[in-house]
Amino acid sequence: MARAKHYVMVIDLHACTGCDTCSVACKQENNLPEDVWWTRVITVSANGEANNGHAYPDVRLDYLPLGCQHCVEGPCVDVCPTAATFRHPELDCVMQDPSLCIGCRYCTIVCPYTGVRVYAQDQPRYVLPFPTGDNTIVHRAQTVEKCTFCAHRLAQGQEPACVAACPTRARTFGDLNDPDSVVAELLRSRAHFQLLPEKGTVPSVYYLI
Amino acid sequence: MSAHLPPPDTHPAPAVTIVMAVRNRRLYDTLAQILGRLSPPPRLIRAASPAEMCRFTAEHPALIVADAFALLEAHTSNELHTVKRCAGAAPVLALLPADAREYRDVAVRLGANGMVVVERSATDLLPEVERLLGRTPLVDGVARRISSIAQHSAPAGEAVYDESSGALSWLEDRSSRAVEALDPAGTFDAPPAATVEALAPDNGRTFLRGLTLTAAAPSGTAGQQWHARTACNLNCGGHYCGLDVTVRDGQIVKIEPADFPDDRYRRVCLKGISYVQMVAHPDRLHYPLKRIGARGEGRWERISWEQALDEIADRMRATIDAHSAESLMFFPYSGQLSALNGISGVYLRLASLLGASGSDLNQFGLDSAVPSGIQDTFGAGTGYLANDYADLPNSRLVLIWGANPVHSRMNWWPFFLEAKRGGTGLITIDPRYSATAAKSDAWLPVRPGADLHLALALLNVIVERDWIDREFVLGHTAAPLLVRDDDGRYLRASDVPGMRGAGDSPLVWDEAQERAVPAAEARQPALDGAYAVKGIACRPAYALLRAMLAPHTPDAVADKVGLAAARIIELARRYATTKPARIFTLYGIDRWHHGATFGRLIATLAALTGNVGIPGGGAGVDGFCDSALFVSDFTFPDGKAYRPINPAGLPSQILSGEPYPIKAAFVAFNNWLNQWPDRTRMCQDVLPRLDLLVTADLFMTETARWSDYVLPAAMLFEREDMVKGPGPYIQYQPAIVSPPGDCRSDLAIAAGLAERMGVGEYFARPALDYLEEVLASAGPETAGLSAQDLRERGVLRKNVPDEPPVAHAERRFATPTGRIEFYVERLLPYGRALPDYEPPIEADPDGALARRFPLVCLTEHSRYRVHSTFGNIPWLRELDREPEALLHPSEARSRGIASGDPVRIFNDRGYAVLRARLSEAAPPGAVYLSQGWQSPDFLDGHPQSLTHDRTNPANALGPNCSFSDVLVEIARERPGHGAR
């Protein structure tokens, strides 16, 4: 009996330097319009509470790439009235179909990971007169968009664009249900955390520490 | 092997609470004992069942240690999921009964964040616990960030309302920022409401003035699609990333990293990908332009290539006739580094053929101070020599000093990462908490410009405590060589009657023979003492060094450097006793008047500790043993050579006419007016002296705008060429798409001029022929390689060994004494034979000027640009919207400046107006600017008007620009004043 895939993204925070190459690779691959980003890098001061006395030179700095967490039990899939948000049956990622999306933003409201979605209020705008990348998506006004784990590339047996582009190889992608996969080995051997585990969404993104 | 130095005085950490879900009492006691070694000891709560554990989560534990499999025996996995859910945000560390993959898989599935095999608890438990606890601030910070904002998507480009702070705030997503200002009002930067309006009209998009934003053609991949392989050729640090280019319907639509036989060189960066927006950028120059009105007015008439080349050639001939061939200056620079269409290519070839002046390829005019010092120490030709980047993993310790490679060598950083993973310690020395500091094991903050004090103190400690590698010092350095008291020169056999037979060998005092002998003959060379050799009083150079270092004790410099003496001593100890150790620098300190002395001091540190010529060792800039440029017979056809001019001396030469006048300049791959200092003097005094200024470029840059003619050049994707790199490779650059409009390759532009100047035949052959010529005459590493072969395969390996090259591996030093010289006779006339302290030329905290202009103005490299290239790329501008002045909150508070306020930075030479950004990562006493922005990007003024072109006459590699040795003051710009 074939086991279903469980695609996960594993991001090594030791290797991530916050260069945003992944963000731009995604922007290119998905022909994202002006001001739309499906993944971005957050810069975090690890000093804890604001101004709790930490000052130069006792400072810290970390980078964390943030995009859709492709939750196994994501509430977004449940609440979408038009099934524009759905879990892909074979590719196992949470998809967003702009042709079905009516821009109600219920998905955004119930998602605990604020910032991973973009609401395109106005007509998409571009500087180039031709599309870039290989995602055939057509961006529309008044729809919600987000990372799709490059489903169009997964279907061809390729990794997501952000993973392929990362110069420090901080990002790894694979099937966690395959015990021989690189992602399974990474999670077995390195300490890691997930974002907001207490919300019970069972995210598919892991951060190695 | 840890590189940890005594940490800065931190606030004592509060005791954490750890819940131990461990049934077995003896196991619990053992673990409790281990955990008691944490400082401070944690508060432990024991839970014997999942239900009990859930009750204790009210204690808000920092960590849960779970003997998951023992619990599994008694409970179901559902109950263990309860453990994870009760844990909430606290990390869970699972104890494994054995190191078996199946146990690990189960632990991952149960949501464990870390694992320790029980029988290895003694060694593994504490590190894993510290790792998980150490990450808590990061995890909490992110969680707070993403859940504190009201549930609201981020509308593209719009502000998001933050209920908790009651103020508008931007969704933080730009990693160009360092540590955010720790603003007591909120958890992240909230520009005060008053400035939001100022931001709104352009939203930072002034660069898109005149650009029409259109909807793209419908998406789809219908039509022909094919791939080509090329390489980037920018001066970002010799990365030369291979590019896999997708072309669809004649347009470049995608760029990905290309493959290499060694996969470590397969990489690209956000800029390389963004070429997609550069090729078809609406602002690309398409037609030759001729100036109407005054220079800099920005009014142009479009002309044909015929007319452009005819007129330019006529005016060049007129200049040559009126003055001399040398009065015409060809000024290509590092904007492009390809063999033909690059700094060392077609324009210098033309210059050679005409007997004109051209960019000096041996004296760059910047990036040359530190290498001057390295060269004085290690010998001719070594200024830019360092162990290859691929050698980094061989180091046990790397000092990254005056460099921010995470930003400016971002695709060499993976070699640093590989080193770190292998146990190499990385210590960053930088006034600012940079991205590199954040990824290092330790960061030592030094005051801006105080690096020499630190280097001298390190040498003082190493010498006083005799932590030197005596054998290396005696055998390979000038340490034992005798120096005459009378004229300060090395004592040579030819100086001594009765020793003439030994030629001019330098002499040492042999303690075994109790006399002076040539160094090779000594059995026991002395490192100290004073001697008289046939009446000539002299001392070993090491004794002179030691005397020079004597006042520079850690205690004496601690305040100047800003580090406690104990930390300086510990750094010296760590560096001297961890071998092999490498000192890695770039050009941060090169931008100071005393950059060469810094180069000498770090080279001396490496020499005294024997870290020279060994894998993992070294001291120098970058990581190349071979030049990243092709310099060959192509540049010097028929043995002809242009007259080289150091660009840092060019403005003065234009003004003074000495040693000969320069009356015309042809500029390419070079944003002269934006990137070189003293912009006010350039515009008002220097450029007006030129009868002719021509710029070939892709865009209307700062320099192009001031020119008489602007010629539209082709991009790397539009002409055939090759690059020398990265690492052991060379790469082919095919012509993939046609140049747009009337753009022409630089080869074609040079050919057009050459024809009219009577030397057209030197540019008439196909590009591939010239590539063959370059490969054949660019040195042994490329000799025998065929350009045809390169074209077919895209990548070829140079004739180099497999092991990463090590600088000075043969330990032959082309200095006057044949040894590593920290005592340099050449510098005697400057009083600098020894590398003693040299104050900044302007940014001296003790100088009088500092009272009027108390801030050092430092510039850094951004990862969103290479100098000014990529500054107009929309994708990148969305991430890095506008120039910012980075300021420590204490400097801002005292001046009434809040984050986001427009501020004026000024000194007696000029000013720039831009927005301030507060950060705890910036040191007090400085303001940081990011270089490469151009005039339209600023609210007013230009930072290059703040800099000066004062040079250090002692530098071996000639005049160098001291961009950072600059003092400024900063003031809040009054609303409505100076803003666009």
Number of residues that this document lists for chain A: 209
Question: Does the CB of A155 have a partner CB in chain B at under 8 Å?
Answer: no
Range from B83-92, B115-124, B923-932 carrying the lowest mean pLDDT: B83-92
Residue B218: list chain A partners with CB under 8 A: 131, 138
pLDDT score of B724: 96
Q: Phi and psi (nearest 5°) for B861? A: -90, 135
B772-786 mean pLDDT = 95
Which tokens go with A51?
């101004």
pLDDT score of B376: 98
Instruction: Output DSSP code: residue B686.
Output: I
Q: Please state, as a whole number, how many other Cβ atoms lie within 10 Å of the Cβ of residue B795.
A: 17
Residue A153: list chain B partners with CB under 8 A: none
B317-333 mean pLDDT = 97
| A3 pLDDT tier (thresholds 50, 70, 90) | low
B74-92 mean pLDDT = 71
pLDDT score of B192: 27
CB contact (8 A) between residue A165 and residue B257: yes
Contact B488, B502 (CB under 8 A): no
A103 closest CA partner among B237, B828, B155, B808: B155
Tens of pLDDT, residue by residue over A137-173, are 889 999 999 999 999 999 999 999 999 999 999 999 9
d(CA B704, CA B162): 45
B126 closest CA partner among B17, B41, B61: B41
Q: Is B677 helix (H, G, I), strand (E, B) or coil?
A: coil
| B181 pLDDT tier (thresholds 50, 70, 90) | very low
| B11 pLDDT tier (thresholds 50, 70, 90) | low
**In this model, does residue B23 exceed pLDDT 70?**
yes
Which tokens go with A125?
């705008």
Residue B114: list chain A partners with CB under 8 A: 191-192
> What are the angstrom distances between the C-alpha of B324 and each of B317, B328, B497, B751?
9, 8, 52, 22
**In this model, does residue A121 exceed pLDDT 80?**
yes
| B72 pLDDT tier (thresholds 50, 70, 90) | low
CB contact (8 A) between residue B267 and residue A167: yes
**In this model, does residue B256 exceed pLDDT 50?**
yes
The share of chain A scoring above pLDDT 90, in percent, equals: 68
Mutate to test the interface with A, among B99, B116, B142 (most CBs of A within 10 A): B142
Task: Nearest by CB to A54, from B182, B221, B255: name it.
Answer: B182
d(CA B866, CA B670): 12
pLDDT score of A56: 78
B249 closest CA partner among B737, B745, B733: B737
Which tokens go with B491?
């004592």
| B175 pLDDT tier (thresholds 50, 70, 90) | very low
d(CA B636, CA B643): 11
Which tokens go with B933?
């922005």
Which tokens go with B214?
């259109």
Contact B645, B329 (CB under 8 A): yes
Mutate to test the interface with A, among B96, B102, B139 (most CBs of A within 10 A): B139
Residue B101: list chain A partners with CB under 8 A: 179, 188
Q: Please state, as a whole number, how many other Cβ atoms lie within 10 Å of the Cβ of residue B81.
A: 15
| B533 pLDDT tier (thresholds 50, 70, 90) | very high
Q: Which amino acid is at B126?
A: L
Tens of pLDDT, residue by residue over B540-569, are 999 999 999 999 999 999 999 999 999 999
pTM for the model stands at 0.92
| Separation of first and last alpha carbons in chain B | 55
DSSP letter string over B280-305? Answer: T-TT---S-EEEESSTTS-EEEE--H
| B75 pLDDT tier (thresholds 50, 70, 90) | low
Contact B583, B426 (CB under 8 A): no
pLDDT score of B80: 62
A195 closest CA partner among B829, B145, B296, B79: B145
Q: Please state, as a whole number, how many other Cβ atoms lie within 10 Å of the Cβ of residue B500.
A: 11
Q: How far is B65 from chain A (nearest CA, A)?
A: 13
Pairing of strands A40-44, A62-66: antiparallel
Question: Does the CB of A76 have a partner CB in chain B at under 8 Å?
Answer: no
d(CA B774, CA A53): 60
d(CA A5, CA A90): 8
Contact B725, B338 (CB under 8 A): no
Mean pLDDT computed over every residue of chain B = 89
pLDDT score of B332: 98
A and B: number of Cβ contacts within 8 A: 310
> What are the angstrom distances between the C-alpha of A176 and each of A151, A165, A187, B632?
17, 21, 9, 54
Q: How far is B79 from chain A (nearest CA, A)?
A: 15
Contact B980, B205 (CB under 8 A): no
**In this model, does residue B448 exceed pLDDT 90?**
yes
Alpha helix segments (H runs only) across B588-667: 595-608, 650-656
| B938 pLDDT tier (thresholds 50, 70, 90) | very high
Tens of pLDDT, residue by residue over B711-759, are 999 999 999 999 999 999 999 999 999 999 999 999 999 999 999 999 9
d(CA B855, CA B223): 58
**In this model, does residue B180 exceed pLDDT 60?**
no
Contacts of B535 (CB under 8 A, 6+ apart): none
| B976 pLDDT tier (thresholds 50, 70, 90) | low
Q: Please state, as a whole number, how many other Cβ atoms lie within 10 Å of the Cβ of residue B646.
A: 21
Give the 3-state DSSP-derived string for B519-586, with helices as H, strands as E and coil as C. Answer: HHHCCCECCCCCEEECCEEEEEHHHHHHHHHCCCCHHHHHHHHCCCHHHHHHHHHHHHHCCCEEEEEC
> What are the angstrom distances between the C-alpha of B740 and each of A179, B278, B578, B869, B884?
51, 12, 56, 19, 34
d(CA A134, CA A148): 13
B398-406 mean pLDDT = 97
**In this model, does residue B606 exceed pLDDT 70?**
yes
d(CA B399, CA B336): 30
Task: Nearest by CB to B273, from A25, A56, A126: name it.
Answer: A25
pLDDT score of B79: 61
The share of chain B scoring above pLDDT 70, in percent, equals: 89
Task: Nearest by CB to B282, from A37, A62, A127: name it.
Answer: A127
Chain B's closest residue to A50, CA to CA, is: B182
Q: Predicted ipTM? A: 0.95
B582-602 mean pLDDT = 98
pLDDT score of B240: 97
d(CA B202, CA A58): 37
Residue recorded with tokens 């190191």 = B99
Which tokens go with A123?
């007509």
B58-80 mean pLDDT = 75
Contact A50, B299 (CB under 8 A): no
> What are the angstrom distances between the C-alpha of B827 and each of B377, B741, B857?
11, 54, 29
Higher pLDDT, A129 or B76: A129
d(CA A173, CA A191): 17
| B709 pLDDT tier (thresholds 50, 70, 90) | very high
Question: Does the CB of A129 have a partner CB in chain B at under 8 Å?
Answer: yes
Mutate to test the interface with B, among A13, A28, A32 (most CBs of B within 10 A): A28
Higher pLDDT, B219 or B851: B851
pLDDT score of B81: 67
Q: Which amino acid is at B400?
A: I
pLDDT score of B208: 38
Task: Nearest by CB to A130, from B253, B274, B921: name it.
Answer: B253
Contact B478, B490 (CB under 8 A): yes
Contact A70, A46 (CB under 8 A): no
Question: Does the CB of A73 have a partner CB in chain B at under 8 Å?
Answer: no
C-alpha triplet B64, B66, B68: angle, nearest 5° = 150
Which tokens go with B731?
């790469």
B866-891 mean pLDDT = 94
Range from B82-96, B567-581, B885-899 carrying the lowest mean pLDDT: B82-96
Strand partners, B425: B397
**How remote is the C-alpha of A108 from its chain's centroid?**
14
Pairing of strands B619-621, B581-585: parallel
Q: Please state, as a whole number, how many other Cβ atoms lie within 10 Å of the Cβ of residue B909.
A: 17
Contacts of B931 (CB under 8 A, 6+ apart): B675, B859, B860, B861, B862, B867, B943, B963
Cis bond before residue A57 (omega within 30° of 0): yes
**In this model, does residue B703 exceed pLDDT 50?**
yes
Task: Nearest by CB to B175, from A35, A43, A51: name it.
Answer: A43
Alpha helix segments (H runs only) across B617-660: 650-656
Tens of pLDDT, residue by residue over B620-631, are 999 999 888 998
**In this model, does residue B414 exceed pLDDT 50?**
yes
d(CA B273, CA B246): 11
Cis bond before residue B580 (omega within 30° of 0): yes
* No. of helices (H) and no. of strands (E), chain A: 6, 10
Tens of pLDDT, residue by residue over B41-61, are 999 999 887 777 777 777 788
Residue B149: list chain A partners with CB under 8 A: 114-115
| B646 pLDDT tier (thresholds 50, 70, 90) | very high
pLDDT score of A120: 87
Instruction: Output DSSP code: residue B886.
Output: E
Q: Please state, as a whole number, how many other Cβ atoms lie within 10 Å of the Cβ of residue B733.
A: 30
Higher pLDDT, B856 or B163: B856
Contact B406, A15 (CB under 8 A): no
B838 closest CA partner among B573, B452, B569, B515: B452
Question: Does the CB of A79 have a partner CB in chain B at under 8 Å?
Answer: no
d(CA B772, CA B774): 5
H/E element, B257? strand B251-257
CB contact (8 A) between residue A17 and residue B91: no
pLDDT score of A198: 85
* No. of helices (H) and no. of strands (E), chain B: 32, 39
Contact A198, B89 (CB under 8 A): yes
Task: Nearest by CB to B273, from A28, A46, A60: name it.
Answer: A28
B783-791 mean pLDDT = 96
CB contact (8 A) between residue B213 and residue A63: no
